[in-house]
Amino acid sequence: MSTVLGKPTSRIDGRAKVTGSAKYAAEYHVPGLAHGFVLNATIAKGRIRRIHTADALAVEGVLDVFTHEHRPKMAASNDKYEDEVAAEGEHYRPLYDAEIRFNGQPIALIVAEEPETARFAASLVRVDYEQKPHATDFVARRNEAERGKHQHKRGKAAKAFDEAPVKITAEYRMPVEHHNPMEMFGATAVWEGDGRLTIYNKTQGPQNCRNYIANVFGLAKDKVRVLSPYVGGAFGIALRPQYELTLAVLAALALKRSVQVALTRQQMFTLGYRAANIQELDLAADRDGALAAWRHRVAAMTSRFEHFERPFVTWSSQLYTCGNVELGQSFVRVDQNTPCDMRAPGGAEGMYAIECAMDELAYAAKIDPLELRLLNYSDVDQAEDKPYSSKALRDCYQQGAARFGWAKRNPEPRSMREGNELVGWGMATGIWEAMQMKASARAVLTANGSVEIASATADIGPGTYTMMAQLAADCLGVPLADVSVKLGDSTLPHAPVEGGSFTTASVGSAIHAACRAVRGELLRMAQKMKDSPLKGVKVDDIVLADGHIRYKTDASRQVSVADAMRLGKADRIEKEASAGPNEKSKFAHSTHAAVFVEVKVDEQLGIVRVTRAVSAVAAGRILNPKLAGSQILGAVVGGIGMALHEETAMDHRFGRFMNHNFAEYHVPAHADVPPIDVVFVDEQDDEINPLGIKGVGEIGIVGTAAAVANAVFHATGKRVRDLPITMDKVLFG
């Protein structure tokens, strides 16, 4: 039995983070380091007629000003700018030409000996534009929507809807939201003197960035090394290479010296974002609450040059049984940068509307919202016609409701009160894909019992260092303190970008395979000993513990690791292995959750406070409840932000995001975050992967915004369908 897995273990990288020794990408300093500052476009569409750089170049300490007319050679073909998770279309190329595609687009890089000098010099650059009419109002252009990829029909949804006795029709809206991680984007491109580049970059995929840079600048991959040992949050914004990386490399190649480029908080709003969307749902049921019809249509924004789309509507077929379904997505092109993945992309947005609509249907049918969900529960992904490998959602409902006290809820809106505040209880369901990607890992066991585990994955905050160490310690039977971890380095064994909640399943399975290969080699060495007590034993029949290789069912049959390696004349055993998903699986794979939320609403001021929350999660085997619980806590906070706080406002006259700072872009502060109770439901899944694990990075946010919105309705009797739910909407609608 494992003494490491399943225990609430603290992060092995915790000390480095709280002492400041864990550096961000823009905190690396090398001799002769120059600093770049990005100049951004002030129009939304048009062309650059001329950039006046003479005044900036005249500033003492300025080394150069790079523009589309003055830069190293860059690739001409679109495919060279395609990264591992790129959207379809013409990919954006920093400083490539004179075209302006969005307000805030980088148009120049000023490089100087000091960062303050570069920033001052940037203020002296003047730009003449040929401005063209732009269109950034997604809602106004809704009638120009183009058909998207995600379409599905079964049964006769329109006819069933018309004939059903209970029905609701609703439209839900979400605004643009920006990620705003703690660490802003930065890149330090270190010129090694022999044509090699070592680049420290904020990224969720160092190999993705290495390949991108090699392709864009025509460099050999072995001449480019990308490092990201520590990342101060990302939430999806760092999946793709951002422009600070390209510009830092561009300048380093031109100047043949090390260059660092760091973005400001304001410039973070020139990058990708969660796309604004409008969702229409028509739900119908019989008088007992059984779903009769389900129609879900979504329009979301994307850029002119790329088609970014994530599945909003597909979740409609994965939770509730309904034979008459019509699902469809469309997208609207605007003169903005391309949206990008933001925690639980597609799921966080789609499930907000789905779960609010289910709540509305419950009230229309006069059925408890939880009972309605149980009544229409599905064990099958109906779009794919596949059963789930595991789905302990019923247990999530039961345990979450019990922990929250749902049975004490008065079903009537505005019926619960505390002083001058209305009290509301809401709930919602969460679902997210339990994905696995192909990944590789290297495991090294030395004769003194120390272990090194390595993979090119990133750690953006979920505790990947600790997960990797725990798996290695468990499999090789060593104390956690004897395991060292290498990650965030493009030269290490292959790993996909860290995202989608698939890192633990992907990299963890590779670690399991690599460590199993080490165990196999150890066993072979032990079996070569004269009169070995492990003769005829298979690798799955042994455990490693206390420096020994032991037969599982007879501890007296053992050989010390040191003796086996001494006989095998090995100072170290090193194995690399890969693992990937079961492509022939006949099952659907998902994590599930039930979210219960209490809000209190000031009846006179309309101020909404979330006062407590319970998130019950079924995510297979939980390797470390402390780390996994922390992921759910953070995700629930993100869901509260979606529901009550976050909105990026645009002035369509300029096509510019206006509240590009933390004073005006609101995220939940400490006072906004209530006690959050996380419940992990036991769920065994022997089919999904050898470890039985699913990711938890996203599942905590899916459904949370809907639970808050449903609680607000229960408290006030007013249904706000336009996020965020602010006091003006509560008071005046």
Q: Which residues are catalytic?
A: 698
Residue 690 preceded by cis peptide, ω within 30: no
- Can you spell out the DSSP letters for 80-140? GG--TTPPEE----TTSSSEE-STT-EEEEEEESSHHHHHHHHTT-EEEEEE------TTT
Kindly state the tokens that stand for 699: 């599942």
Q: How many residues does the chain have?
A: 733
Tokens coding 690: 């050898």
**Cα(712)–Cα(436) distance, integer angstroms:** 37
- Which residues 6+ apart lie within 8 Å of 53 measured at CB? 65, 67, 108, 125
Q: State the residue for tokens 């991680």.
A: 181
CB neighbours (10 Å) of residue 20? 8
Contact 30, 23 (CB under 8 A): no
Distance CA(129)–CA(136), nearest Å, equals: 19
Half-sphere exposure in the Cβ direction for 116 (13 Å, CA): 0
Q: Is the dihedral of CA 332, 338, 341, 342 positive or negative?
A: negative
Tokens of 103: 């307000």
Cα(482)–Cα(452) distance, integer angstroms = 8
Cα 480 versus chain centre, distance? 27
H helix and E strand count, the chain: 16, 33
Residue from 662, 611, 613 nearest 633 by CA: 613
